[in-house]
Amino acid sequence: MNRREFVTTAAFGGVTIGSAARLGAAGASSERPVAVKNPRATSGDPLEPSWAERLTITVGPEKADLVGSNQKVIQAAVDSVARWGGGTVKILPGTYRFRNAVYLQNNVRILGSGLDSVIVKEASVAAKLSKDSDWFDQEITFADTKGFEIGDGICLRVKDVEEGGAKVIKRTLVARSDNRFKLDRALRDNAWLIGEPKVESLFPLFSGENIADITIENIALDGNKTNNENLDGNYAGCIWMQDCNRITMRNVTARNFNGDGLSWQICHDVLVEDCLSHDHTGLGLHPGSGSQRSIIRRNRMVGNEQGLFFCWGVRWALAEKNYIEGSKLYGISIGHQDTDNIIRDNEVRASGEVGILFRKERVPAFQGNRNLIEKNRILGLAQERGIGVDIQGQTKSITIADNEIRETQSPGQRVGIRIGPETEQISLAENRIEGFAEAVLDLRKSR
């Protein structure tokens, strides 16, 4: 499938299942049919009919199938519809306060009631451990249990005394006796007192690992960052997914998380559209390491540290018609092996340092090469030395075409496009660059 075929397929209802779409009984020839036009539900076959109706369970503070206003009642609804092969959890208007994530399952749709259904993360609490726990243990001992309850989601951070750095372990408290809590799973890393372990009630609001065919839409998520410690997007966010396929996030408002807004790690065929992600201390949208074929369109990212952050090895993504404003550092950031992406028709306003950044990586093989930047509007930079598009390191094979790059304040020492001295094959065509002290600073000329 070439690039044009991929984008066309994705635009009409999501990405095709691939080989499953071509399964069918062999005919007289050795060739199989191109597609099954009228599939039947068959045991073990992932190719199903497109059912007109599935099970729906409503959740709400009153007059719902399951009545309540916390994560437990929503988790119960998720588990119930998953038990019957999938369906919709309809979250009725109300405010829901979470002490743990809702852990999603295959073939589940979360459907909120717009801004009338608001999920708020409760304030985080913290404690130290009073006894060592080994990697095979499934319990920890608190020095002080104040503020913790059975069912809470926790994050255990401990220094790695052998290799340096820190370990992050996310678990749920499932039983207790005095200050001893049992975990839902074994630690799988040592939590020794020499490593100064700290437990905090930190978690994403919606979480998924090793699942597929999930939709989250039409709901508001509030991370309550003023009353929560930081947990970055490798581990959390208003929504956090890892090792998942075919995920849709649509019309989600994600706000005020002390970390990222929407983060997906090693997830493929993710569609994020018409979402608002604002006022996070981390990243607005975070297509994470190894994620392939994300489509990111018509979203708004406002007031975050960075707007749209391509992590490691993000490939074949399409980011178009997004609005990014007031990023404290960078509007869009591209780096480690982020290749073959299209960034088109986005508006990036009032970035702190750089509108679009190609990060400098350790070695040439790690650069974010073969990316297309076209028809974007990069308007205004907060810092006196701000740069519209900054191509660093040994980045190569970048096309920047038909963009409007305009400084709306005084020129200062701002630069429209800076091309680093070690970059190669940087193509500029038909860009309109205005209001900068220097429109294009090509440092390759000084080599």
pLDDT digits (tens, 9 = 90+) for 35-79: 788 899 999 888 888 888 899 999 999 999 999 999 999 999 999
Between the CA atoms of 240, 243, 244 and 249, what dihedral angle is there, to the nearest 10 degrees? Answer: 30
In CATH, 55-121+203-446 is 1.10.3470.10: no
Amino acid at 89: V
Mean predicted confidence (pLDDT) in 151-176: 93
Mind listing the pLDDT tens digit for each residue in 97-125?
999 999 999 999 999 999 999 999 999 99
Q: Please state, in angstroms and rounded to a whole number, the distance separating the CA atoms of residues 380 and 230.
A: 29
HSE of 145, CA atoms in CB hemisphere, 13 A? 14
Q: Which of 291, 294, 239 is CA-nearest to residue 265? A: 291
How confident is the model over 311-327, as pLDDT tens digits?
999 999 999 999 999 99
Does pTM surpass 0.75? yes
pLDDT at 163: 78
- Rounded percentage of the chain residues whose pLDDT exceeds 90: 85
Q: Is the pLDDT of residue 14 over 60?
A: no
CA dihedral 144, 146, 149, 153 (to 10 degrees): -70
Q: What is the mean pLDDT of the chain?
A: 92
Encode 110-122: b = buried (16+ Cβ within 10 Å), e = exposed. bbbbeeebbbbbb
**Amino acid 262: pLDDT:** 98
